[in-house]
Amino acid sequence: MGKKKGAACAHPRKRFYRARAHSNPLSDSHFPVPVSPAHCDWTEHFPVLAAAGDGSASGQQQQQVPKVRFADVGCGFGGLLVRLSDLYPETLMIGMELRDKVTEYVKERIVALRKNNPGRYGNISVIRTNAMKFLPNYFDKGQLEKMFFLFPDPHFKEKNHRRRIISQGLLAEYAYVMAEGGILYTVTDVQELGEWMKSNLDAHPLFERINLEEQSSDPVVEFLVATSEEGQKVARNRGDTFVAVYRRVPSPP
């Protein structure tokens, strides 16, 4: 029998989309990548852009077209995106995930959420890509207001530290796509990785650490651990988490 008209859309089940906890970000993967941000068609991701046309307007009309402002790098199963969608309903945000099965899960999850909640969740989407290689292909200079790095692969072996998502070279790219005053969030359950990320961010001239008092007034911080599958696993096991939040400061004159 077919589904009744107006019946709720079933959410995808994670067990059908299981994949390795992490992927090698330095390996070659085969998926389409835009040549530049100007070639990135966001209309297929966000209904508000599809309704506005093909997203290729210019001049004053182009300025009125909203842009993606939040990026969750390595978004996993999309828990943070879903939670932030209601907190920032007017902000477009994208999850960037390298694992194909996990990306498909998030896509199906968002489809189900939109169908079951008309008018909601139209501001979140996901793309399969490698942010370590292709981030500038998607975002203009100063475009992003928030970037998230939740429980990234620790790459424990020293020879694999070059695969870590926070490094001096990559921070230069993050600084390029982030707006001045934008916020970069990191969290891990591996103390050594937490210290690594903080030491790299502290050493970069375009990022400054946000103190705990200011973090306590940021509504996003409380979601960094609770919304991700990895964070929930750590909480169940009563493990420690290490949060570090940084602001993109103005470039020197």
Question: What's the pLDDT at 50?
Answer: 82
* pLDDT in 10s for each residue of the chain, 253 residues: 444 555 566 766 655 555 554 455 445 567 889 999 999 999 999 988 887 765 444 545 455 789 999 999 999 999 999 999 999 999 999 999 999 999 999 999 999 999 999 999 999 999 999 999 999 999 999 999 999 999 999 988 889 899 899 999 999 999 999 999 999 999 999 999 999 999 999 999 999 999 999 999 999 999 999 888 888 889 899 999 999 999 999 998 8
Residue 21 lies in a domain: no
Residue 153 bears catalytic tag? yes
Residue 97 annotated as lining a ligand binding site: yes
Selected catalytic residue, list 54, 72, 100, 153: 153
Q: What's residue 26's pLDDT?
A: 45
Residue with tokens 């907190």: 87
pLDDT at 53: 62
Provide the residue range defining the domain that includes 117.
65-248
Per the domain annotation, does 93 fall within a domain?
yes
Is residue 55, in this structure, part of any structural domain at all? Answer: no
Find out whether 230 is annotated in a ligand binding site.
yes
Is 224 a domain residue? yes
The per-residue pLDDT for 9 is 67
Instruction: Please indicate, yes or no, if residue 44 is contained in any of the structural domains.
Output: no
Per-residue pLDDT, 81: 97
The CATH number given to whatever domain includes residue 83 is 3.40.50.150
Structural domains of the chain, count: 1
In a domain, 190, yes or no: yes
Residue 230: inside a domain, yes or no? Answer: yes
Is 74 annotated in a binding site? The answer is yes
- Does some domain include residue 176? yes
The answer to the question of whether 7 is labelled as a binding residue is no
The answer to whether 130 is annotated as binding is yes
